[in-house]
Amino acid sequence: MAPVQLAGTAGPLIENHDSLLLDLDGVVYLGPKAIPHAVETISALQAGGLPVAYVTNNSSRAPQTVAEHLQGYGLDVAADHVATSAQAAVAIMQKELAPGSRVLVVGGPGLRAEVVGIGMEIVESKDDNPAAVVQGFSPHVGWQDLAEAAYAIGAGARFYATNTDLSIPTERGTAPGNGSLVLGITNATGVVPTSAGKPEPQLFWHAASLFNSQTPLMVGDRLDTDLAGAVAANMPGLLVFTGVTDAAGVISCLPHERPTFLSLDLRGLLQAHPAPHQQDNLWVCGDARAQVVAGEIQLSQVAPPTRGSEAWLDAVRALCAAVWHEIDRGESVDFTTIPRL
């Protein structure tokens, strides 16, 4: 498969897609607050008949709880339109474990409910001889929980993780995610878990199947989960700059994490997207001109772009195109020379 490149659209981006798959943290809300323009944009798209699914690596809450949370912002959401990493994890466990197996759960009520839902027996200790440990994010997970899981895995229990996000965005900043806690167990046991959530493609395919969607668009704020998962699932992905990823992060991202489109926020779904194009040795988008010379990343523009403006976004697009082109040619790029935006 050819490396992903930034694409363009003649009309509103969403016109080319029959469903929308949305990450939650950093896309729809941040902490307890809805992200500006998110609710209005989603509601407008739904009013026009577009189906929307919510794809989350947060396994601590049940789909109904997630739906009620989103309803609190004024969104029209049903529980069966929420796809969680807990669902993906138990689907794998159901295939690999004997019916009724004992499982030690490290995580929240959403994960526990999914484990019970497939007929497994939840236990609390290594001394209960669990066949498996499954770990999902919960802010209440503590050292004793991680230690008990490590003891069980050391005794032979299989290890599953709903996701391996190293961090999560909150209203106060970036906090450790489930992946950081998973690493604690891996460091103690030497065992790497079978991971079920993003960036594994199964969760994305499951979300698209909720509407029998043929041309879904995934929207996220994280490169290593949302966008890498979209690439793995062979879906176009839109990166929004309302969560954890900044301009330098997307310019220097790995090929398997590349988004197809960039937007300041969800309003980009309703807008046309200019595609960067090559002009001599320059990559051009709007007034922005970018190139890589002897490994150094260079940007020229009519006027310095203001953060959060369309000119700023065009500059990021041009820089992505220039850098990705060099990477795909096998050339070296000095990422310390990324212009400050």
Q: Do domains 13-57+199-270 and 86-195 have the same CATH topology?
A: yes
Among 23, 145, 221, 314, the one annotated catalytic: 23
For 162-313, strand residue ranges (E) read 167-170, 173-176, 194-195, 216-220, 237-240, 261-263, 277-279, 282-285, 288-293, 296-300
Start-end of H helices in the chain = 38-47, 63-71, 85-96, 109-117, 143-154, 178-189, 201-209, 228-232, 247-251, 310-328
Closest Cα partner for 136 from 189, 195, 94? 195
Tell me, what's the pLDDT at 144?
97
Helix (H) or strand (E) segment spanning residue 274: none
Start-end of H helices in 2-139 = 38-47, 63-71, 85-96, 109-117
Tell me, what's the pLDDT at 302?
66
- DSSP letter at 182 equals H
Tell me, what's the pLDDT at 190?
98
Give yes or no for a contact between 276 and 298, defined as CB atoms under 8 angstroms apart.
Answer: no
Q: Which residues contact 185 (CB under 8 A, 6 or more apart)?
A: 133, 135, 146, 149, 150, 153, 159, 191, 193
pTM assigned to the model: 0.86
328 tagged catalytic: no
How confident is the model over 238-263, as pLDDT tens digits? 999 999 999 999 999 999 999 999 99
Report residue 225 CA to chain centroid gap: 4
**Token pair for 255:** 């090929």
Taking only Cα atoms into account, the Rg of the chain, rounded to an integer number of angstroms, comes to 21
Q: Which residues of the chain have pLDDT under 70?
A: 302-303
Give yes or no for a contact between 62 and 87, defined as CB atoms under 8 angstroms apart.
Answer: no
CA dihedral 22, 323, 4, 42 (to 10 degrees): 20
Tell me, what's the pLDDT at 196?
87
Contacts 24+ apart (CB under 8 A), 302-311: 305/341, 307/341, 308/264, 310/286, 311/286, 311/287
Cα–Cα distances in angstroms (integers) from residue 129 to residues 74, 101, 319, in the given order: 45, 10, 54
What CA–CA distance (Å, rounded) separates 251 from 316? 7
Q: Which residues contact 40 (CB under 8 A, 6 or more apart)?
A: none
246 tagged catalytic: no
The answer as to CATH 3.30.450.40 being correct for domain 86-195 is: no
Tell me, what's the pLDDT at 173?
87
Q: Quick one: fold of 13-57+199-270? A: Rossmann fold (3.40.50)
**Token pair for 211:** 């509407």
**Cis before 32? omega within 30:** no
Tell me, what's the pLDDT at 2?
82
Structural domain boundaries of the chain?
13-57+199-270, 86-195, 277-337
Among 18, 25, 76, 280, the one annotated catalytic: 25
